[in-house]
């Protein structure tokens, strides 16, 4: 099969969106994207378009693609995470393996060029609904290293409001300076697997992306100090496909000095009540099944149930 392999371009977004729709119709991962969502992905400062994206074209048809995002983690590790897919009608022709080979080659190139003092680790998230991807990961030397759970909660059920801890308040996201919120976010996720400190540039991209919703995002504060952060997204493309208006809780964390006081529970219950008042029908989030047991317990006690599982495959 004679394919043209080249980096993704902004002009590819309409074709890419159609491609992802074809993939979702078969894989049912619950991921739907608008043109604006995809443009935001290509504008992510963690993405090097020339060195870390690829599109395989068969004439005008997109047969497969890959994007690598790099994240320095811990003291001496560079994590390269790839997302990608092969169009359903091009599967079982070796394209998946070629994408993995491209991933390993380009990740190593960027590591040598930009992070020569760090050890490279490759990671790929695979949905439980795509058995072929799991088999491909095993065949190309990847091992399961973590399991993530997508959880969801209908908002037509009772919501038990949890009061903020003594001396704290739950306030709107934009009520504190961006620097204070970023500092709290980085403290809350410090040392957690799969997370790293965000730079001001990456943070700005996150909170200005089209999917980010400040009205769905909240802070816990104690005086002038931010003690907890809840960030949420809304994807209209999901609603168009499913008919359900869903708030996606992108991240929820408590600074280390305030843990064990019920900050996350207060933020979460406050957010759920706000979502219902704004006409949302469901809230969803993702949690590391091997992370702190308290996090999973908070979600279960608030009415969330597991809807989808992902395996994170890694290769050193």
In the chain, where the domains are located: 4-141, 151-311
* pLDDT recorded at residue 297: 84
CB atoms within 10 A of CB 79: 20
* pLDDT recorded at residue 74: 60
- Decide if domain 4-141 falls under CATH 3.40.630.30: yes
Report the C-alpha gap between 185 and 199 in whole angstroms. Answer: 11
* pLDDT recorded at residue 292: 63
The token pair that represents 27 in the structure block: 């894989």
* pLDDT recorded at residue 75: 65
Report the C-alpha gap between 277 and 260 in whole angstroms. Answer: 28
Strands 119-127 and 77-86: parallel
* pLDDT recorded at residue 316: 85
The CATH homologous superfamily for domain 151-311 is: Gcn5-related N-acetyltransferase (GNAT) (3.40.630.30)
What's the Cα-to-Cα distance from 312 to each of 18, 68, 255, 262, rounded to whole Å?
Answer: 26, 15, 26, 29
Can you give the pTM of this predicted structure?
0.90
* pLDDT recorded at residue 193: 74
* pLDDT recorded at residue 1: 75
Taking the alpha carbons at both ends of the chain, their separation in whole angstroms is: 31
Report the C-alpha gap between 125 and 148 in whole angstroms. Answer: 9
Residue 203 falls in which region: left (phi positive, over 0), alpha (psi -120 to 50) or beta: alpha
| Alpha carbon 237 to chain centroid, angstroms | 16
Burial 140-160 (b: 16+ CB within 10 A, else e): bebeebbebbbbbbebeeebe
Do 151-311 and 4-141 have the same topology in CATH?
Answer: yes
Report the C-alpha gap between 140 and 151 in whole angstroms. Answer: 30
The helix/strand/coil state of 251 is: strand
The tens-digit pLDDT sequence of the chain (316 residues) is: 799 999 999 999 999 999 999 999 999 999 999 999 999 999 988 899 999 999 999 999 999 999 999 987 566 889 999 999 999 999 999 999 999 999 999 999 999 999 999 999 999 999 999 989 999 999 999 999 999 999 999 999 899 999 999 999 999 999 899 999 999 999 999 877 777 788 899 899 899 999 999 999 999 999 999 999 999 999 999 999 999 999 999 999 999 999 999 999 999 999 999 999 999 999 999 999 876 666 788 899 899 999 999 999 999 8
């Amino acid at each position: 099969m004679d394919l043209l392999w080249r980096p993704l371009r902004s002009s590819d977004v309409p074709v890419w969106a159609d491609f992802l729709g074809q993939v979702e119709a078969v894989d049912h991962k619950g991921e739907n994207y608008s043109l604006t969502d995809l443009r935001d992905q290509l504008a992510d400062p963690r993405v090097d378009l020339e060195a870390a994206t690829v599109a395989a074209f068969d004439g005008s048809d997109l047969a497969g693609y890959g994007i690598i995002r790099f994240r320095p983690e811990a003291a001496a590790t560079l994590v390269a995470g790839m997302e990608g897919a092969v169009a359903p009608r091009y599967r079982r022709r070796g394209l998946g393996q070629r994408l993995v080979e491209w991933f390993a080659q380009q990740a190593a190139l960027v590591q040598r060029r930009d992070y020569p003092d760090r050890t490279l680790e490759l990671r790929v998230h695979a949905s439980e609904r795509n058995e072929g991807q799991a088999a491909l990961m095993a065949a190309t030397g990847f091992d399961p290293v973590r399991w993530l759970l997508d959880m969801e909660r209908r908002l037509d059920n009772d919501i038990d409001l949890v009061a903020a801890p003594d001396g704290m308040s739950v306030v709107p996201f934009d009520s504190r300076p961006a620097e204070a919120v970023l500092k709290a976010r980085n403290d809350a996720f410090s040392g957690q697997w799969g997370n790293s400190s965000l730079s001001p540039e990456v943070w700005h991209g996150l909170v200005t992306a089209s999917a980010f919703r400040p009205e769905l995002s909240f802070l816990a504060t104690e005086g002038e100090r931010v003690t907890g952060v809840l960030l949420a997204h809304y994807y209209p493309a999901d609603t168009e496909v499913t008919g359900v208006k869903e708030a996606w809780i992108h991240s929820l964390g408590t600074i280390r000095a305030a843990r064990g006081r019920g900050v996350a529970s207060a933020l979460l219950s406050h957010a759920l009540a706000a979502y219902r008042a704004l006409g949302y029908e469901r809230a969803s989030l993702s949690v590391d099944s091997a992370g702190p047991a308290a996090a999973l317990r908070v979600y279960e006690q608030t009415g969330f149930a597991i809807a989808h599982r992902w395996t994170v495959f890694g290769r050193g």
